[in-house]
Chains A and B, each alone.
Chain A
């Protein structure tokens, strides 16, 4: 038997486009997509802060059931129908018969957080995930990249060491990577975007480019400029049609 606590959520201002939280992130970035997990079903949400009624409508919750926010402990929280909830503070819900007796609880435990990748979900309690931890959580293969899903066509790749903080948006998607660059004017294809200098050379050699691992790698900038040499252990982010040059090393004479 669960113990529920009634959550007294203060009504929020709903003028204009609603509260600023998560609606439009700073620097005019598009708003991230939001979702709620209701009775183990992913329900797309229009924004971070929504009324319980929106959740009820979208999840088609019948009148005789109440919405409960799930916490790590068994002290789940029953939400009033006229309340607003910040999905950034927890987006996992279940329904219980409305007539069920409700007891007060402390609600001191963290709320459960559902990350969504390609419509699959996993529940965590730590909001400070990274690209790497999400990749492991969802067992993503190495030839796909993880992107945060925005309310725009310009979704944002998340690097392994990059923060994937829950409050910035819990909805992600993946896409297969196939990037073609040029090494010494030869096309070389990559199945991942972030590689080391050594991987650039190894992949080029495997694809028939006449270089050696001891050669020195340079990226040619868009304006034709040359940056410093790229070290073997240095990480580079590849972009379609980029040009690299790999030349023989020098010696003291």
Chain B
């Protein structure tokens, strides 16, 4: 892992105290990260999930894109999840993918921890 990614991982641990964080080297200088037991919103079944993502070796110049949570995530009101969600595979396992792009990425500000925060806010706001 590059120093930037190690720093990103430390910031994630600090930003989500009380949540266990799994980190695994991706073999290419980046890392696979999984943050457990995050509240994604009472409108979902389940309301709490892990969220996983890959920080690539280009970080912080590259966006942290593609966040994954439990497979078959559904809304409690049975309304389809809508744009930005899709059923995909995360490291060989089925998962629900949230596709949120930072089109105005500012490498100095938009860290992996804040990207996760924005994904969570977006999910909770729907």
Binding site for B on A (CB under 8 A): 184, 216, 218, 223-226, 228-229, 245-253
Is B122 in contact with A250, judged by CB distance below 8 angstroms?
A: yes
Distance from A170 Cβ to chain B, minimum over Cβ atoms (Å) = 43
Is B17 in contact with A225, judged by CB distance below 8 angstroms?
A: yes
Binding site for A on B (CB under 8 A): 11, 14-17, 65, 83-84, 99-106, 109-110, 113-115, 117-122, 124
Contacts A223-B17, A225-B15, A253-B101 given; indicate if A248 touches B117 (C-beta within 8 A): no
CB closest residue in chain B, given A248: B104
Is B65 in contact with A253, judged by CB distance below 8 angstroms?
A: yes
Distance from A225 Cβ to chain B, minimum over Cβ atoms (Å) = 5
User: Taking each of B15, B84, B103, B119, which has the highest tally of chain A beta carbons within 10 Å of its own beta carbon?
Assistant: B15
Contacts A218-B114, A253-B65 given; indicate if A229 touches B121 (C-beta within 8 A): yes
CB closest residue in chain A, given B12: A226
What residues on B are CB-neighbors of A247 within 8 Å? 106, 109-110, 114, 118
| 21 A–B contacts from the bound complex (CB under 8 Å) | A218-B117, A223-B17, A224-B14, A226-B16, A226-B114, A228-B121, A228-B124, A229-B117, A247-B106, A247-B110, A248-B102, A248-B105, A248-B110, A249-B104, A250-B100, A250-B102, A250-B103, A250-B118, A250-B122, A252-B84, A252-B101
Interface of A is mostly: loop
A247 to B60, CA, bound (A): 14
With A225-B14, A226-B15, A248-B102 known, 10 other A-B pairs at CB within 8 A are A223-B17, A228-B117, A228-B120, A228-B121, A247-B110, A247-B114, A248-B104, A249-B104, A251-B101, A253-B99
What residues on B are CB-neighbors of A251 within 8 Å? 100-103
A223 to B114, CA, bound (A): 15
What residues on A are CB-neighbors of B115 within 8 Å? 250
What residues on B are CB-neighbors of A253 within 8 Å? 65, 84, 99-101
What residues on A are CB-neighbors of B124 within 8 Å? 228
A253 to B122, CA, bound (A): 13
Is A250 in contact with B101, judged by CB distance below 8 angstroms?
A: yes
Distance from A138 Cβ to chain B, minimum over Cβ atoms (Å) = 40
A245 to B83, CA, bound (A): 27
**Quick one: which of A218, A225, A226, A248 contacts B106, CB cutoff 8 A?**
A248
What residues on B are CB-neighbors of A216 within 8 Å? 118, 121
Is A252 in contact with B99, judged by CB distance below 8 angstroms?
A: yes
A203 to B118, CA, bound (A): 23
CB closest residue in chain B, given A225: B17
Distance from B60 Cβ to chain A, minimum over Cβ atoms (Å) = 12
CB closest residue in chain A, given B99: A253
A121 to B61, CA, bound (A): 61
In the A-B complex, the 9 residue pairs with the smallest Cβ-Cβ separation, listed nearest first, are A224-B14, A253-B101, A248-B104, A250-B100, A252-B84, A226-B15, A253-B99, A229-B121, A247-B114
Is A229 in contact with B118, judged by CB distance below 8 angstroms?
A: yes
Is A184 in contact with B109, judged by CB distance below 8 angstroms?
A: yes
What residues on A are CB-neighbors of B11 within 8 Å? 224
Distance from A106 Cβ to chain B, minimum over Cβ atoms (Å) = 58
Contacts A216-B121, A252-B83 given; indicate if A226 touches B99 (C-beta within 8 A): no
Distance from B6 Cβ to chain A, minimum over Cβ atoms (Å) = 16
A26 to B17, CA, bound (A): 34
What residues on A are CB-neighbors of B119 within 8 Å? 250
